[in-house]
Amino acid sequence: MSEAPLIELKGITKTFGEGEAAFQALKGVDLTIERGDFVAIMGPSGSGKSTTMNILGCLDIPTSGVFCFRGVEVQALSRDQRSLLRRRYLGFVFQGFNLLARTSALENVELPLLYRGESKPARKAAAEKALDLVGLLPWADHTPAELSGGQQQRVAIARALVSEPDVLLADEPTGNLDTERSTEIMKLLQELNRSGITILMVTHEEEMAAFARTIVHFRDGLVESLVHNGSAAAEGQNTGAPA
């Protein structure tokens, strides 16, 4: 018996508001994401990409349709069960780094494990491992103000990885960075993807999307196209260790 896809969206709709004020953000989205993929989600403002990411991240539920994660129908879960799924299986990276300003990189990375009630030694060991994974262990004691924008985003990525999620959801992860730092972060995401982490990324930049294995374009609440990327960047010919 074949293994279920990691993520399946079947006929997903999402409507905000009621009556004459109702707005249908998603109009029947079908999308399958396999384990180990690196998916870039693109589209103009209002196309439905952010609404889809909120559903994929269990931050919202669809109005209709079926959303399956590892073969489980997510919309059938209770709020607490969805919260548990989010904490155990998903990691989030945002355009704004969302780091605590007066807290060290290590302590920022520990936060998800603190909320899970892990012991201090376990939190420290896991946070050090995550920082080492993104090349920032020597900066563990530095506060965000002592780090560059690219370093701050790597701390944010380490924080998303510390709970060892199945999926990393990145919303415009290079939106606040210059071209050089953006490329650094994309190369890091590629390396993480090669290690087995599935990555879903919203971006409006074609150059950043080129690093992904699959590019999905949204328009008017539907998937307009899905392309398996064969570019040099996607295949790793343009990659190296992050600076």
Structure tokens at 199: 């990555």
> What does pLDDT average to over the chain?
91
Short-list 229, 195, 196, CA closest to 40: 229
Q: What is the distance of C-alpha 21 from the center of its chain? A: 31
Q: Is residue 74 part of a domain?
A: yes
Kindly tell me if the per-residue pLDDT of 192 is higher than 80: yes
Kindly tell me if the per-residue pLDDT of 198 is higher than 90: yes
State the total domains in the chain. Answer: 1
Kindly tell me if the per-residue pLDDT of 39 is higher than 60: yes
Structure tokens at 146: 């002592």
**What is the rounded average pLDDT of the residues 88-96?**
91
Q: Is residue 200 part of a domain?
A: yes
Q: Is residue 28 part of a domain?
A: yes
Structure confidence at residue 235 as a pLDDT band (50, 70, 90) = low
Name the residue range of residue 57's domain: 7-228
Q: Is residue 242 part of a domain?
A: no
- The single residue listed with the structure tokens 């409507």 is 15
Short-list 31, 12, 14, CA closest to 23: 14
Give the model confidence (pLDDT) of 141-190 as tens digits. Answer: 999 999 999 999 999 999 999 999 999 999 999 988 999 999 999 999 99
Which residues fall within 8 angstroms of residue 70, CB to CB, at 6 or more apart? 4, 6, 89, 166
Structure confidence at residue 241 as a pLDDT band (50, 70, 90) = very low
**What is the rounded average pLDDT of the residues 22-45?**
96
Kindly tell me if the per-residue pLDDT of 106 is higher than 90: yes
In 88-229, beta strands by DSSP E: 90-93, 167-171, 198-202, 214-219, 222-228
The CATH number of the domain holding residue 168 is: 3.40.50.300
Q: Is residue 92 part of a domain?
A: yes
- The single residue listed with the structure tokens 């002592």 is 146
Q: Is residue 127 part of a domain?
A: yes
Q: Is residue 194 part of a domain?
A: yes
Q: Is residue 1 part of a domain?
A: no
